[in-house]
């Protein structure tokens, strides 16, 4: 779809802490504010971004203890994550219906909630709920986890995805 203004018509969906390290569990922030390398790539390619809420922050607050996926994998927390997943999917569906290309969802590696999964890591609780919600709606969106402590490989991956389309 060709827009009648200057918008790019493309977005990347990002885990909350990619744009706000203040939401991380105390002691686990790798940056003072944003993961700049990811933001820089999106800016360089003129890609919009949608920041998802942090499910852990909205469930347990800033001073929450660090927990594993198994500790978060409870019916109440899944219900909380599903509610956020539905809201996020509503936005993505609206963008897609109106010609905005949703390029990828970027999670955070080793997060019990927002890891997008890989050969090494399993998917976090929130990303599982988001994946289910997107599948139910027939939305196929690439998911990838950013390693916040070592972004070089992930930034190269993102650049390649953005170059391709």
**Residue at 4 is within a domain:** no
**Residue at 1 is within a domain:** no
**Residue at 5 is within a domain:** no
Alpha helices, DSSP H, located in 3-124? 16-19, 36-44, 55-60, 69-72, 75-97
Taking alpha carbons only, the member of 58, 65, 79, 61 closest to residue 125 is 79
Structure tokens at 105: 């969802």
**Residue at 109 is within a domain:** yes
**In CATH, what number is assigned to the domain containing residue 150?**
3.40.50
Mean pLDDT calculated for residue range 4-12: 86
Structure tokens at 98: 């109106």
Residue 1 reports pLDDT greater than 70: no
Query: For residue 5, what pLDDT is reported?
Result: 78
How many structural domains comprise the chain?
Answer: 1
Query: For residue 141, what pLDDT is reported?
Result: 96
Each residue of 75-129: pLDDT tens digit? 999 999 999 999 999 999 999 999 999 999 999 999 999 999 876 789 999 999 9
Mean pLDDT calculated for residue range 47-51: 96
Structure tokens at 82: 């599903």
Residue 55 reports pLDDT greater than 80: yes
Say how far residue 85 (Cα) sits from the centre of its chain: 11
Output phi, psi for 102, to 5 deg: -95, 105
**Residue at 2 is within a domain:** no
**pTM for this entry:** 0.93
Query: For residue 6, what pLDDT is reported?
Result: 79
**Residue at 117 is within a domain:** yes
- Please give the mean pLDDT across all residues of the chain: 94
Q: Which residues contact 37 (CB under 8 A, 6 or more apart)?
A: 151, 152, 155
Query: For residue 134, what pLDDT is reported?
Result: 97
Query: For residue 2, what pLDDT is reported?
Result: 67
Q: What single-letter DSSP state applies at residue 119?
A: S
Query: For residue 7, what pLDDT is reported?
Result: 79
Helix (H, G, I), strand (E, B) or coil at 105: strand
Which of 4-13, 108-117, 135-144 is least confident? Answer: 4-13
Task: Provide the domain limits for residue 137.
Answer: 10-164
CA–CA dist 38, 19 (Å, integer): 9
Taking alpha carbons only, the member of 91, 60, 93, 80 closest to residue 128 is 80
């Amino acid at each position: 779809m060709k827009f009648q203004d200057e918008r790019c018509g493309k977005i990347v969906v990002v885990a909350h802490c990619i744009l706000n390290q203040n939401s991380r569990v105390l002691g686990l922030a790798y940056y003072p504010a944003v993961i700049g390398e990811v933001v820089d790539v999106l800016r360089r390619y003129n890609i919009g971004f949608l920041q998802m809420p942090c499910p852990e922050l909205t469930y347990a607050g800033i001073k929450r203890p660090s927990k594993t996926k198994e500790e978060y994998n409870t019916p109440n927390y899944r219900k909380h994550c599903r509610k956020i997943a539905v809201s996020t999917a509503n936005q993505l569906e609206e963008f897609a219906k109106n010609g905005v290309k949703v390029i990828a969802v970027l999670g955070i590696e080793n997060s019990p909630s927002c890891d997008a999964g890989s050969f090494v890591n399993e998917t976090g609780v929130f990303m599982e709920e988001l994946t289910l919600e997107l599948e139910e709606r027939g939305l196929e969106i690439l998911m990838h986890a950013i390693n916040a402590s070592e972004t070089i490989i992930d930034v190269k991956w993102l650049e390649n995805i953005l170059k391709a389309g």
